[in-house]
Copies of this chain bind each other. A is one copy, B any other.
Amino acid sequence: MYFPSWLSQLYRGLSRPIRRTTQPIWGSLSRSLVLSSQRRNPEFSSFVVRTNTCGELRSSHLGQEVTLCGWIQYRRQNTFLVLRDFHGLVQVIIPQDESAASVRKILCEAPMESVVQVSGTVISRPAGQENPKMPTGEIEIKVKTAELLNACKKLPFEIKDFMKKTEALRLQYRYLDLRSFQMQYNLRLRSQMVMKMREYLCNLHGFVDIETPTLFKRTPGGAKEFLVPSREPGKFYSLPQSPQQFKQLLMVGGLDRYFQVARCYRDEGSRPDRQPEFTQIDIEMSFVDQTGIQSLIEGLLQYSWPNDKNPVVVPFPSMTFAEALATYGTDKPDTRFGMKIIDISDVFRNTEIGFLQDALSKPHGTVKAICIPEGAVSEVQKFFSTRNLFANFIMELKRQELIRLMETQEEDVVLLTAGEHNKACSLLGKLRLECADLLETRGVVLRDPTLFSFLWVVDFPLFLPKEENPRELESAHHPFTAPHPSDIHLLYTEPKKVRSQHYDLVLNGNEIGGGSIRIHNAELQQYILATLLKEDVKLLSHMLQALDYGAPPHGGIALGLDRLICVVTGSPSIRDVIAFPKSFRGHDLMSNTPDSIPPEELKPYHIQVSWPTDSKAAKAH
């Protein structure tokens, strides 16, 4: 980094992940919760006492005798109330005549959010009292009988305001939070989208849904795996981060089209917007290449995409990892907007500014820039105003060249970095997103939340230098990833240069999937594991053996379902698309989980707690 003072500050500030999605514009009460992707309407009232749902009644039901069950959402002047169920709202008229005293008593005295069952007739609302914003706004229910199914105690808050409450409160009373339109919409959309994916995979393309174990063996370097003590002293299961080994073994077993909506586990402590357990659409195929997997996924997303969203356009564009890094400073570019990175090294090739000269003279040294349109009249200007004196100074020197090269307009702001290529790009990539946030606070819509911009990122490096010891290699993704066919010869000479057959799927700047063609040759797998990665091959001996017994060529992919649904619904957090998520710190705030265990319940598992003795460790928790 070559603007050490303010840039490094900025870099640290940016190292917290930036949420790319925008707050959704939630539908009013008129929003139908029944997604239109359904080919025929399911029977929502089969097998139960209600005849209809609250949300479905229309003028076409006039005169029908109905029985409804729902929660009291609202009541006015003891004359009518609004009843709510999973499907919507309906207005119920409280009878005023003396003969209906018991019905009136029930409906007037039941606290808000009590559950009642009412039977009555669907009638028209009086002329002028229709509510066009409400799907059931033309009708109301003239009640004949009512029953209080369960009274509600005083709530800690009002349901309709729940989204405004703190997230801790929402999680503590999750069963109340789930009554909100937003949560019900999100969970239903999730269910329907997954159902469509299953139809596409199973019914259209012959995939077999196979469940794989979650009590498994630790994987080499699987430091993020939860442990499960067994009843044998010192022996543990691990909760795997993905069904990777099993899906490959299924290919060896000849089940050539596998998928699973798989529960996976990752213990990452308290990384924000991650969950200790998460779900992926896990897919593996035999006799396939990269193009085949990509076409499958494009078709899958197109088929399962909700009808009430902007459609998915296929095929998705593709970009190499190198290009993504050079142009967007990240391996998951948000391609909904420009502000691309431009190499301006040549402008400063003969500069006399010492640190730029210094930067350019080092290996992979570059000067890079992005142009923030109208940045000078926005928050961007304020953000950088106290920090960019130095930059101004550079700009004066090279102003004309830069304006030409960057095609800047008046009131644009240009940000520069100088240094090693990858780092310079990566920093600008973060600034690009931060500036987009700043511009959007001013009302500029850079990233249209209704737009879905998919991108394949390909040709990743197969290996990366280990962070703790850059002379050793680690897998950029996982050790089963096949090398790029053009680069196999480099494995034995310059392994760092080998590209992989890994591919990532990016949506609006979020990595929503990744996969690869796998190694199906035991010798090659052994060479990579033992010689290049120096892994303990014993832990994977079953995999090496399996490859030797007629393993077919195969590849696959996994889509992160929580993240995908989060982007599709425009939710601010994946916690909004999971029924019972954990908090940042991995807690279930509703039930107080994780919890203490009586020592006698640890005995069968031959473990005991190592209580931290020093204050530092105690403090850390």
Asked if A255 is at the interface (CB within 8 A of a chain B CB), the reply is yes
Complex contact B152–A42 (CB within 8 A): no
Complex contact A232–B594 (CB within 8 A): yes
Asked whether A178 and B269 contact (CB < 8 A) given A217-B588, A609-B607, the answer is no
Binds B, one of A94-102, A301-309, A548-556: A548-556
**Chain B residues in 8 Å Cβ range of A590:** 249, 542
Complex contact A279–B211 (CB within 8 A): yes
Asked if A139 is at the interface (CB within 8 A of a chain B CB), the reply is no
Smallest Cβ distance from A4 to chain B, in angstroms? 34
A187 to B249, alpha carbons, bound, how many Å?
14
Smallest Cβ distance from A161 to chain B, in angstroms? 15
Asked whether A227 and B69 contact (CB < 8 A) given A179-B254, A612-B233, the answer is no
Asked if A445 is at the interface (CB within 8 A of a chain B CB), the reply is no
Asked whether A195 and B203 contact (CB < 8 A) given A263-B211, A542-B590, A579-B212, the answer is yes
Asked if A65 is at the interface (CB within 8 A of a chain B CB), the reply is no
**Chain B residues in 8 Å Cβ range of A605:** 227
Smallest Cβ distance from A130 to chain B, in angstroms? 26
A211 to B285, alpha carbons, bound, how many Å?
25
Asked if A47 is at the interface (CB within 8 A of a chain B CB), the reply is yes
Asked if A471 is at the interface (CB within 8 A of a chain B CB), the reply is no
Complex contact A288–B256 (CB within 8 A): no
Asked if A229 is at the interface (CB within 8 A of a chain B CB), the reply is yes
CB within 8 A of A611: which of B209, B234, B597? B234
Complex contact A43–B249 (CB within 8 A): no
Interface size of A by CB at 8 A reads 138
Complex contact A150–B38 (CB within 8 A): no
Interface 1/0 per residue, A198-239 and B, CB below 8 Å: 100011111111111111111000010011111111111101
**Chain B residues in 8 Å Cβ range of A526:** none
> Which residue of B is nearest A601, CB measured?
B223
Binds B, one of A291-299, A415-423, A448-456, A491-499: A291-299
Interface 1/0 per residue, A9-51 and B, CB below 8 Å: 0000000000000000000000000000011101110111110
**Chain B residues in 8 Å Cβ range of A578:** 211
CB within 8 A of A597: which of B114, B150, B218, B550? B218
Asked if A332 is at the interface (CB within 8 A of a chain B CB), the reply is no
Complex contact B250–A178 (CB within 8 A): yes
Asked if A546 is at the interface (CB within 8 A of a chain B CB), the reply is yes
Smallest Cβ distance from A386 to chain B, in angstroms? 40
Smallest Cβ distance from A459 to chain B, in angstroms? 21
List which A163-184 residues lie within 8 A (CB) of chain B: 173-179, 183-184
Asked if A621 is at the interface (CB within 8 A of a chain B CB), the reply is yes
A358 to B71, alpha carbons, bound, how many Å?
60
**Chain B residues in 8 Å Cβ range of A187:** 208, 210, 255
Q: List 25 A-B contacts (CB under 8 A).
A: A42-B204, A44-B257, A49-B287, A86-B255, A86-B257, A149-B553, A152-B549, A153-B548, A176-B252, A178-B254, A184-B255, A188-B208, A213-B582, A214-B263, A215-B276, A215-B593, A227-B229, A227-B605, A231-B267, A237-B593, A245-B591, A250-B579, A263-B263, A606-B610, A607-B609
**Extra inter-chain contacts (6) besides given A153-B549, A178-B250, A188-B208, CB under 8 Å:** A44-B205, A175-B252, A194-B209, A233-B617, A237-B593, A606-B612
- Shortest Cβ-Cβ A-B pairs, 8 listed: A178-B253, A152-B550, A42-B206, A47-B292, A235-B594, A44-B206, A217-B593, A175-B252
